């Protein structure tokens, strides 16, 4: 069934996991990290972290909520439904699943069951495709997430480092959170260490992703182009999106086999 966006059911495991991780990280930051600082530092750290959090949630929502459906598909389906005029001559690519014309940069996503204009990749964390319509939102999201995890990671390392040597931090924690015994302090450090580790891990992995996308931009490629290049394929990105002229070769009910026959013909 065609999915509208990343909030359409069924929700993905990766997507739910990402919500749980961000929710716990953020709560632990405000409840346990912030009280370790003195008043002037608290306002600066809270402000920076809250801005990064707001941007992460805002762009995350926009990237998930966007519907990256190929507009030609939408237009043709609307035309068929309401008997409106549609200029098929403008488009020479066909999707054999949607059974409509598509733009040249389109690819049919099996997960979303629709054609995506400017397909980059299907993101399991967003449970949505990233295409022409939401690529910028996705880029802003990973940049904001990098800031968020960067702040949490460095603040966490600072706290753990100081709690061992600095009596001021110990006193602050005792006043604010009632952490007055060695055992409670160890427990506190373990929680902070755990979430700092998670933040640093996300910071490194997400940083790699950012580097990869900057590199792709420089090369003028999408993630999908990169995958195809590695597989040694270039023409006809999706076996479901074929030139119109070959659509006649594809018989109903035996699509996959016939499309691969078309491909063999192409490669000759
Ligand atoms: Zn399609
Ligand atoms: Zn998809």
* Cα-only R_g, the chain: 25
Give me ligand 1 centre to Cα 163, in Å.
57
Name the strand (E) or helix (H) holding 100: strand 100-102
pLDDT at residue 117, as a whole number: 92
Q: Which of 112, 115, 123, 129 is catalytic?
A: 123
186-214 pLDDT per residue, tens: 899 999 999 999 999 999 999 999 999 99
Q: Helices 167-177 and 182-219 meet at what angle, rounded to 10?
A: 100
Mean pLDDT, all residues of the chain: 87
pLDDT digit string, tens, across residues 149-184: 999 999 999 999 888 777 678 888 888 888 888 888
Half-sphere exposure of 36 (CA within 13 A, CB side): 25
Phi and psi for 241 in degrees, rounded to 5? -105, 115
Distance 111 CA to ligand 1 centre (A): 11
**Across 97-108, average pLDDT:** 88
pLDDT-wise least confident of 2-16, 27-41, 72-86, 158-172: 158-172
Per-residue pLDDT for 96 more than 60?
yes
- Go through 149-166 and write b for each residue having 16 or more CB atoms within 10 A of its CB, e for each that does not: bbbbbebbbbbbebbeee
CB 98 within 8 A of CB 114: yes
pLDDT of res. 216: 96
Of residues 77 and 124, more confidently modeled: 124
User: And the tokens for 34?
Assistant: 């912030």
How far apart are the CA of 13 and the centre of ligand 1, in A?
24
Residue position matching structure tokens 């995506």: 116
Q: How confident is the model at residue 99 (pLDDT cuts 50, 70, 90)?
A: confident
What distance in angstroms lies between residue 102's CA and the mean position of ligand 1's atoms?
Answer: 8
Quick one: which H or E segment has residue 54? helix 39-65
How much is the pLDDT for 63? 97
Ligand nearest to the CA of 108: 1
Q: Which ligand is nearest to the CA of 115?
A: 1
Instruction: Please say if the pLDDT value at position 29 is more than 60.
Output: yes
Q: What is the band of 248 on the pLDDT scale with cuts at 50, 70, 90?
A: low
Q: Are 102 and 94 in contact (CB under 8 A)?
A: yes
Of the ligands numbered here, which is closest to the C-alpha atom of 4? 2
Q: Is 123 a catalytic residue?
A: yes
Residues within 5 Å of ion ligand 2, judged at the Cβ atom: 109, 111-112, 122, 129
Sheet holding 93-95, edge to edge: 100-102, 93-95, 241-243
What is the 16 CA–ligand 2 centroid distance (Å)?
Answer: 17
Distance CA 99, CA 70 (A): 13
- Please work out, in degrees rounded to the nearest 5, the angle formed at the alpha carbon of residue 71 by the alpha carbons of 65 and 119: 65
CA of 89 to the centre of ligand 2 (A): 27
% residues pLDDT > 90 (the chain): 58
Considering every ligand atom, which ligand is closest to the CA of 119? 2
Q: Given pLDDT bands bounded at 50, 70 and 90, which one contains residue 235? A: low
């Amino acid at each position: 069934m065609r999915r509208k966006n990343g909030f359409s059911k069924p929700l993905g495991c990766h997507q739910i996991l990402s919500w749980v991780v961000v929710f716990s990280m953020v709560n632990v930051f405000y409840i346990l990290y912030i009280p370790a600082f003195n008043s002037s530092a608290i306002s600066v750290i809270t402000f920076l972290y809250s801005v990064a959090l707001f941007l992460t949630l805002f762009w995350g929502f926009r990237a998930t909520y966007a519907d990256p459906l190929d507009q030609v598909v939408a237009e043709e389906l609307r035309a068929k439904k309401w008997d409106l005029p549609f200029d098929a001559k403008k488009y020479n690519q066909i999707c054999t699943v949607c059974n409509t014309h598509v733009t040249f940069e389109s690819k049919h996503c099996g997960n979303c069951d629709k054609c995506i204009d400017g397909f980059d990749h299907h993101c399991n964390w967003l449970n949505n495709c990233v295409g022409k319509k939401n690529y910028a939102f996705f880029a802003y999201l990973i940049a904001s997430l990098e800031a968020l995890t960067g702040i949490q990671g460095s603040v966490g390392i600072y706290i753990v480092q100081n709690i061992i040597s600095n009596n001021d931090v110990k006193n602050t924690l005792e006043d604010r959170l009632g952490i007055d015994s060695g055992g409670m302090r160890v427990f506190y450090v373990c929680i902070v260490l755990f979430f700092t580790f998670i933040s640093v891990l996300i910071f490194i992995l997400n940083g790699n992703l950012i580097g990869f996308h900057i590199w792709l931009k420089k090369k003028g490629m999408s993630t999908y182009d990169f995958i195809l290049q590695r597989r040694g394929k270039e023409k006809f990105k999706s076996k479901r999106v074929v030139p119109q002229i070959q659509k006649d070769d594809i018989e109903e009910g035996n699509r996959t086999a016939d499309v691969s026959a078309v491909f063999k013909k192409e490669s000759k």
